[in-house]
Amino acid sequence: MNSKAKILYFVHLPPPLHGVSTVSKTIFDSEKINANIEKRLIRINYSDNLDQLDRISLNKIYKLINLWFRLLFHLISFKPSYVYWTIVPLGNGFIRDSLFVILFKLFNTKPIYHLHGNGISEVKSKFRLKLYRFVFSNSIVIHLSKGLMKKEITPLKIKNSITYSVPNGVDDLLNDSHENIRNGKVNILYLSNYSESKGLYVLVEAIKILKQKELNFYVTVVGKPFNVNDKKLDNLLQEYNIKDDVSFVGPKYGAEKDDEFKQADIFVFPTLNDTFPLVLIEAMKYSLPIVGSMEGAIPEIIDDGETGYIVKKRNFVSVAIKLEELIKNDSLREEMGRKGYNKFKVNYTNDVFEQRISDIFKKNVN
């Protein structure tokens, strides 16, 4: 009888709730993925809420030191052959995470890196590029996007590594039949923990244009603000006379979040900084046409002109033009939404995602 492979999960789990922690929880909890695997968990938690994610503090330094020693303890006591890890691929986070890689190398533990970020292709520092080759050598690398894998990882020419592209997934609807709740105005939904980097002000400028054209629409913003200047936002809404055309309803979860999708006619997400926004495939699940920005894997998620529209980043005029087209055309919205749902069913359900990750583990983890 074969002994079980040992995997140490070194991951972010909610809270705070974001794409990386959500996907990590799916993988760690999955019986299909972890079949014939003996697993152990080290939960990474530098921050308890989104506002703290990019801030350095003494508490974070303490947690970093504590994590390093906890990892050392588990490598000695558990003796895993593999460590699954959502390493941060950029900035100071990558330098920090490289400290953990030293331990993996010392204990001959093979990393399974699951990359949720992009931007490596823009790095010019020779030191950083050498560090990437050291970190990613002798590893399994899973990226969310074929395009980003080709653009960011392949040029590094990493030694003794295997690469895979696996798009994320979300839970499917309980049944295929669902009916969106239609109201008098065309409801445009934006759902994300929002900030300037998530395209908040691009959306506000687009709403201003739609308002000037006297179109029959309403915008609902669902999510928690982070790094947002409330006074600046409120002043813009007043200056543009759009306070009655947009509602900020705060974060929604579970059934309340589902209801927001059901009440929507269009989904908009003009983000400036993203890799693979889970919210886009959630919108596809509810048969919503999407207007999204040319960022990360979004051009792979949205089929431009088929399931929605892709616009250049920061181009609020283009966002407004595409939203206007969808506001005015009921049949176009329905056709794009249907095509998006069909694509979701084939590519982006959690069942499909878990099967793909499970296949990688079966092929590589002994």
- Is the pLDDT score of 50 beyond 50? no
Band (85; pLDDT cuts 50, 70, 90)? very high
Residues 6+ away with beta carbon under 8 Å from 366: 5, 81
Quick one: 161 and 198 in the same domain? no
- Is the pLDDT score of 180 beyond 70? no
272-286: per-residue pLDDT in tens?
999 999 999 999 999
Tokens of 264: 């929507």
Quick one: 121 and 77 in the same domain? yes
What's the total number of domains in the chain?
A: 2
The answer to whether residue 178 sits within a structural domain is no
Band (80; pLDDT cuts 50, 70, 90)? very high
Are 103 and 70 in contact by the 8 Å Cβ rule? The answer is no
CATH number, domain containing residue 190: 3.40.50.2000
Quick one: 287 and 302 in the same domain? yes
213 DSSP assignment: T
- Is the pLDDT score of 342 beyond 60? yes
Q: Name residue 311's amino acid.
A: V
Quick one: 85 and 136 in the same domain? yes
The answer to whether residue 175 sits within a structural domain is no
- Is the pLDDT score of 178 beyond 80? no
User: What is the distance between the alpha carbons of residues 144 and 164, in angstroms, rounded to a whole number?
Assistant: 9
Average pLDDT over residues 303-331: 98
Residues 6+ away with beta carbon under 8 Å from 75: 8, 103, 104, 107, 109
Q: Name residue 365's amino acid.
A: V
The answer to whether residue 179 sits within a structural domain is no
In this structure, of 48-52, 53-57, 333-337, the range with the lowest mean pLDDT score is 48-52
Are 144 and 275 in contact by the 8 Å Cβ rule? The answer is yes
51-71: per-residue pLDDT in tens?
444 566 788 889 999 999 999
Buried (b) or exposed (e) across 127-159, using 16+ Cβ within 10 A? Answer: ebeebbeebbeebbbbbbbeebbeebbeebebe
218-238: per-residue pLDDT in tens?
999 999 998 899 999 999 999
Q: Name residue 256's amino acid.
A: E
Query: Residue holding tokens 């929605």?
Result: 308
Quick one: 128 and 201 in the same domain? no
The answer to whether residue 181 sits within a structural domain is no
The answer to whether residue 233 sits within a structural domain is yes
Quick one: 96 and 237 in the same domain? no
Would you list the DSSP string of 139-204? SEEEES-HHHIIIIIGGG--TT-EEEE----BPPPSSS-------SSEEEEEESS--GGGTHHHHH
Quick one: 158 and 254 in the same domain? no
The answer to whether residue 94 sits within a structural domain is yes
User: What is the distance between the alpha carbons of residues 258 and 170, in angstroms, rounded to a whole number?
Assistant: 13
pTM of the complete model: 0.91
Quick one: 238 and 357 in the same domain? no
114-169: per-residue pLDDT in tens?
999 999 999 999 999 999 999 999 999 999 999 999 999 999 999 999 999 999 99
Band (17; pLDDT cuts 50, 70, 90)? confident
Quick one: 314 and 224 in the same domain? yes
Quick one: 115 and 157 in the same domain? yes
> What pLDDT score was predicted for residue 58?
85
The answer to whether residue 176 sits within a structural domain is no
> What pLDDT score was predicted for residue 65?
93
Quick one: 161 and 193 in the same domain? no
Are 287 and 340 in contact by the 8 Å Cβ rule? The answer is yes
Domain range for 115: 5-169+350-364
Are 181 and 263 in contact by the 8 Å Cβ rule? The answer is yes
The answer to whether residue 160 sits within a structural domain is yes
Quick one: 220 and 201 in the same domain? yes
Q: Name residue 346's amino acid.
A: V
Residues above pLDDT 90, as percent of the chain: 87
> What pLDDT score was predicted for residue 57?
76
